Amino acid sequence: MTPVNIRPGNETADAAERLVCVGIVAGAHGVGGAFRVKTFTVRAADIATYGPVSEAAGGRDFELTLLSVKGDMAVVRAAGVQDRDGAEALRGVRLHVPRRALPGPAADEFYHADLIGLRVELADGRPIGTVRAVFDFGAGDLLEVAGEGEDALMVPFSRDTVPVVDLAAGRLVVEPLPGLIEAACKTEGVAP
């Protein structure tokens, strides 16, 4: 199972309308209003294919024109951004698209935004918590699971530890991990 490399955006009640962050403006590129975007898409060039991107919280919309790509950075132009100062003013702006604008993930792949907020349960339905974030520190994907307390669990996201991901039901099932899930269950008052 692989989370598709698109990070979560704002969470809303309707999954299709949820905003997903597809990139962040890294700064100006040249003097003509072009700017660099660190993309969170599988292919950096895809940043300009999902339709208009917007700032979160109902900010400005931008129709991006792709100029070039290097690694996960795209150089783009947007109407209304006419010079270096305008482009530099966008530094740090997160660019979002509605979840419905993204293509469906392949079998056994999931968008981070689709995993965030899922209930985490044991196979018998006992609750563990909720997926708060998805990380990859280089050794594989991890789900940050928040329980009732303040401590969070980091659960490896693999078929062995997460055999069921049921997006329609809003849940995923984890296998008890020796020393990890048992400790969390005791903290939360759930027997493993």
Give the model confidence (pLDDT) of 1-19 as tens digits. Answer: 544 444 333 333 355 567 8
Question: What does the pLDDT average to over 103-131?
Answer: 90
Q: CA of 167: how far to CAs of 49, 88, 113, 114, in Å?
A: 25, 39, 11, 7
Mean pLDDT of the chain, nearest integer: 85
Query: How far is it, in rounded angstroms, from Cα 56 to Cα 18?
Result: 11
106 or 36: whose pLDDT is higher? 36
Indicate the pLDDT class of residue 138, thresholds 50, 70 and 90: confident
Enter the tokens of residue 164. Answer: 């069921």
CA angle 173, 176, 181 (to 5 degrees): 105
- Give the global pTM: 0.73
pLDDT score recorded for residue 13 = 37
Look at residue 184 in the predicted model and tell me its pLDDT: 52
What the block records as the tokens of 121 is 């349960």
pLDDT 10s digits, 65-79? 999 999 999 999 999
Q: What is the average per-residue pLDDT within 112-122? A: 92
Domains, the chain, ranges and CATH?
Answer: 2-10+18-104 (2.40.30.60), 116-188 (2.30.30.240)
User: pLDDT-based confidence at 64, cuts 50/70/90?
Assistant: very high
CB 3 within 8 A of CB 115: yes
pLDDT for the residue numbered 12: 35
Task: State the pLDDT at residue 105.
Answer: 86
